[in-house]
Structure 1
Amino acid sequence: MRILTIDTSAVASATLLNFEPNDPVRTLSVVGNFATQDTRSHAEVLAPGVKSLFTDAVIEGPALDAVVVGVGPGPFTGLRSGIAMARTLAFVWDVPLYGLMSLEALAQQVFDTPRHGLDGRALGPVAMGDFVVATDARRKEVYWARFSAAAQLMDGPHVGPPTDISDIQVFGAGAGLYREQLEQTGCEVYSVLADVQPTALALGRAAIRRISVAGSLEAAGLLDTTPLYLRESDAKVPGPRKRAL
């Protein structure tokens, strides 16, 4: 199975992945991967980045099994860039299109990161139990969601001040940005994962884990591509003009 994943909830990123659903651990291979650290140039860099993943997109695109796109939460402009690109490619190539919450990409990175003992041996995932992943929502707020130690969504997504989160491990760029506030509410911030952002590669790994557990794309519980903005748009439709007299 081959899928293209796109996420622009924070940075612009795209990944092309090959895997066998019955054994993704052994068979997963990254055919191509693109990600930028710039959080403000999604529209300019995304199309060339996606194109760079293919030798011949005209031939290879229609042969994909699916396109999976991160649906946020994230800023309006960046999020729209990725979703519009995914919708366009899926339509042109006539391949199935699915969405997945971008915070699941962070949860997957937590799940994949080992916790080591004093002797250096891996003891299991770094998350000791339920955990929260958080990204920067600006305005002194974070986008966040709660997951089980097995990276299963339990609550969220939400947007709000970091002080809304308490007494739990917190991972992601939102944790690093608001470490002091989180620690004041009893949270633990793990430095190794205190600056990570959602990426298409991690989103793809999260989607593949769902597919392998469910046995098929159709049964994996993936979303449609409705964006999770969580906030009202700052742009408003102008009201009627006031009378001068």
Structure 2
Amino acid sequence: MLVLAVDTATPAVTAGVVELTADAVLLRAARVEHDARKHAELLMPAVQAVCGDAGTPLGSLDAVVVGTGPGPFTGLRVGMVTAAALGDALGVPVHGVCSLDAIAVDAAGEGPLLVVTDARRREVYWAAYDAGGSRVDGPHVQAPATVAERARELGAVAAAGGSAGLVGLPVRPPQSPSPTGLVAVAASALRAGAAPEPLEPLYLRRPDAVEPGARKRVSA
């Protein structure tokens, strides 16, 4: 099975073609570019590039996997809308996965782990994982000092993700989701041929824009 994996939940714009077999997740091609302000400009050229590198036309893909965050509104929407549009055009299923879970797949090892990424506004997105990479808490959005205190309570021994250095733990790679990490999170559903759940972005914050209130009366 050939799977396109994309993620725009972090400053990295990630795209890759991954071969999923009965017992392995194999990378065919990947492109990762770091620019938090150019997700829309960079993603589709990256998708076309990885398909070319892998010798896999878009029409040969069997599924799409996309990171659903948590992440900032604008960047996250780029990846999810692109994945949904490709799935619709190609007639293939689109599976959404938590982007922090994908980082945890690559970072899992000795002891409990935190995955921490930039949420802006002096806050971070984070989730906690056991040594096998299974999520046990989160995702949340909080100040780094609060996360550091929670890390001690959870007994975390390391942190991964782009903001891992803010919580006082030894830092492990990667900083952003890899194509193989994204597909590994969805692997059981893909292998089983399960219908994907509706795509739901993990914003964790309410949007800044609000509906305007009633007009104020102007006295004569």
What is the distance in 1 between the residues matched to 2:79 and 2:46? 12
**Aligned 1:23-172 pairs, distance under 5 A:** 23-24=23-24, 28-55=25-52, 60-111=57-108, 125=109, 128-164=110-146, 165-167=150-152, 168-169=156-157, 170-172=159-161
Matched, 1:207 2:196: no
What TM-score comes out, normalization by structure 1 length? 0.78
| Structure 2 Cα separation of the partners of residues 97 and 189 of structure 1 | 35
Aligned residues: 209
Counterparts of 2:17 and 2:217 in 1: how far apart (Å)? 57
Across the aligned residues of Structure 1 and Structure 2, the Cα RMSD in angstroms comes to 2.2
Deviations 1:187-240 (A, max 9, x none): x223x43x71224343123333x458xx52428xx6531100000001112222
State the distance in 2 between where 1:149 and 1:134 align: 16
Confirm or deny: 8 A CA contact 1:75 1:137 kept in the other structure: yes
Which whole-Å CA distance do the structure 1 matches of 2:215 and 2:131 have between them? Answer: 55
Q: TM-score, normalised by structure 2?
A: 0.86
Any stretches of 5+ residues in structure 1 without a counterpart? Answer: 112-124
Overall identity of the aligned pairs, in %: 38
Structure 2 equivalent of residue 173 of structure 1:
162
State whether structure 2 residue 178 is matched by structure 1 residue 189.
no
Structure 1: distance between partners of 2:145 and 2:70: 19
* Separation in structure 1 between the aligned mates of residue 215 and residue 206 of structure 2, nearest angstrom: 23
What's the CA shift string for 1:9-34, capped at 9, x where partnerless?
011111111131x221xxx4322211
Q: What 5-or-longer segments of structure 2 have no aligned partner?
A: none
Contact 1:148-1:154 within 8 A present in 2 as well: yes
CA contact (8 A) 1:67 1:96 kept: yes
Report the CA distance between 1:91 and its aligned residue: 0.3
Q: Which amino acid aligns with 1:129?
A: G
Taking the aligned partners of 1:55 and 1:171, their CA distance within structure 2 comes to: 31
For the 8 Å contact 2:18–2:179, the answer to whether it is kept is no
Q: How far apart in 2 are the matches of 1:71 and 1:34? A: 19
Q: Does 1:227 align with 2:206?
A: no
| Cross-structure match for 1:15 | 16
SS at match of 1:207: helix
SS across alignment from 2:151: coil
Alignment partners' CA distance in 2, 1:149 and 1:211: 22
